[in-house]
C-alpha cells in the first residue's frame, strides 16, 4: 500500500472484481446498496475509503489526482486484481480517468462513470461548457471553511435533491452527513479544489475499454449537460444511461435502477 493506510472493504471470493470509488465527501460505506447487489450477483466487490476520508489515514496532503490515481493503482496492485471493472462516482470518476491515462488498462475489463465530474467542471475561456463558475467554487470553499456543519447539511440536501425537492429519506441524508463528518477538514478542502479545477479532457481520450456513463437528469451538483453528456461524447463507443428524475446521489435515491443498469453492463 502507499505510505498511508487505506481502509479497504473486500468481499473476497472468486468472482470478477468490481472496484467502487466513492464520491466527495463520503466513504466506501456510501456504496452499501450496490455492494449487496453485486455480491449477490457473484462479483468480488472492493471498495476503499479515499485518503483523508472515512476510515483511511488522513495526511495533510496528497489530494491531487495524480496522487489519488497512484493510491488506486496501489490498491489494484497489492490485491493483484485483474479483469477489473472500475466504478467511479462523482469525484471518483476523475480517479478512474487519471488512473487510465497514467497506468493504462492492462488490469481492466471495463469502467463505469457515475454522476462523474469529468470532463472538466470549472468554467473558463477554453471550457465554456463547464458547469461550475469560479465564483461558485470560491463561495462553496468559503462555506466549508467558515462552518463545516452547516456546509455539509446544505451540501447533502443538494446532493440528494432535484428541482422537485429531496429524493431520499431524512435518515438517508443524515447517514451521508455522518460519512462526510469522518473526513478531515484538510482533505475535504484540498479534494474539493481537485475535483473542481482538474481538467480530465485529455485523460478521457485514453479510455478504450467498454464504458458506461450513468447520470441523473436532475443532478444539481454535477449537472448532466456539462459533465455526463460531454463525457459520453468524448469516449468512443461509450454507453449512456440517463436516470430520469434522479439527483446527484442516484445510487441511493434510485438504487434499483442504478443497480440494474450496472449489473446489465457487467453481464455483457
CATH number at residue 112: 3.40.50.1820
The residue-averaged pLDDT of 192-221 equals 98
90 a catalytic residue? yes
Residue 3 forms part of a structural domain: no
Cell readout for 33 is 446498496
184 a catalytic residue? no
Reported as a single tens digit per residue, the pLDDT across 2-56 is 589 999 999 999 999 999 999 999 999 999 999 999 999 999 999 999 999 999 9
Of 27, 30, 90, 184, which one is the catalytic site residue? 90
Domain count, the chain: 1
Distant-in-sequence, close-in-space partners of 169: CB < 8 Å, separation ≥ 6: none
**pLDDT tier for residue 97 given thresholds of 50, 70 and 90:** very high
Cell readout for 70 is 497512484
Cell readout for 34 is 450496490
Q: Is 2 helix (H, G, I), strand (E, B) or coil?
A: coil
Residue 13 forms part of a structural domain: yes
227 a catalytic residue? no
Of 9, 49, 71, 219, which one is the catalytic site residue? 219
Residue 1 forms part of a structural domain: no
* Block residue for cell numbers 464520491: 23
**DSSP output for 16-80:** PEEEEEPPTT--GGGGHHHHHHHHHTT-EEEEEPPTTSTTS---SS--SHHHHHHHHHHHHHHTT
Q: Count of CB atoms within 10 A of residue 239's CB?
A: 17
Q: Count of CB atoms within 10 A of residue 229's CB?
A: 17
Beta bridge partners of 124: 127
Residue 2 forms part of a structural domain: no
**pLDDT tier for residue 1 given thresholds of 50, 70 and 90:** very low
Residue 198 forms part of a structural domain: yes
Output DSSP code: residue 23. P
* Model confidence, pTM: 0.97
- Could you tell me the residue range of the domain that residue 83 belongs to? 8-266
With a cut of 80, say whether residue 214 has pLDDT above it: yes
Of 22, 232, 241, 248, which one is the catalytic site residue? 248
Which secondary structure element, helix H or strand E, spans residue 136, and what is its range?
helix 134-146
Amino acid at each position: 500500500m502507499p505510505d498511508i493506510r487505506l481502509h479497504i472493504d473486500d468481499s473476497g471470493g472468486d468472482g470478477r472484481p468490481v472496484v467502487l470509488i466513492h464520491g466527495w465527501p463520503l466513504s466506501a460505506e456510501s456504496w452499501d446498496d450496490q455492494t449487496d447487489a453485486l455480491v449477490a450477483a457473484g462479483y468480488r466487490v472492493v471498495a476503499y475509503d479515499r485518503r483523508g476520508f472515512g476510515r483511511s489515514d488522513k495526511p495533510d496532503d496528497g489530494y491531487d489526482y495524480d496522487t489519488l490515481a497512484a493510491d488506486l493503482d496501489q490498491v489494484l496492485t497489492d490485491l493483484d486484481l485483474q479483469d477489473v471493472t472500475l466504478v467511479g462516482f462523482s469525484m471518483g470518476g476523475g480517479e478512474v480517468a487519471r488512473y487510465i491515462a497514467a497506468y493504462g488498462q492492462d488490469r481492466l475489463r471495463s469502467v463505469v462513470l457515475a454522476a462523474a465530474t469529468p470532463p472538466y467542471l470549472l468554467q473558463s475561456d477554453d471550457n465554456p461548457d463547464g458547469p461550475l463558475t469560479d465564483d461558485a467554487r470560491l463561495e462553496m470553499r468559503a462555506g466549508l471553511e467558515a462552518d463545516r456543519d452547516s456546509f455539509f447539511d446544505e451540501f447533502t440536501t443538494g446532493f440528494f435533491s432535484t428541482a422537485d425537492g429531496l429524493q431520499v429519506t431524512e435518515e438517508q441524508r443524515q447517514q451521508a452527513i455522518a460519512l462526510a463528518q469522518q473526513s478531515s477538514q484538510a482533505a475535504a478542502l484540498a479534494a474539493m479544489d481537485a475535483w473542481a479545477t482538474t481538467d480530465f479532457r485529455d485523460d478521457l481520450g485514453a479510455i478504450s475499454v467498454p464504458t458506461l456513463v450513468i447520470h441523473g437528469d436532475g443532478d444539481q451538483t454535477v449537472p448532466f449537460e456539462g459533465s455526463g453528456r460531454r463525457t459520453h461524447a468524448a469516449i468512443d463507443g461509450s454507453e449512456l444511461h440517463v436516470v430520469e428524475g434522479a439527483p446527484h446521489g442516484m445510487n441511493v435515491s434510485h438504487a434499483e435502477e442504478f443497480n440494474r443498469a450496472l449489473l446489465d453492463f457487467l453481464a455483457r
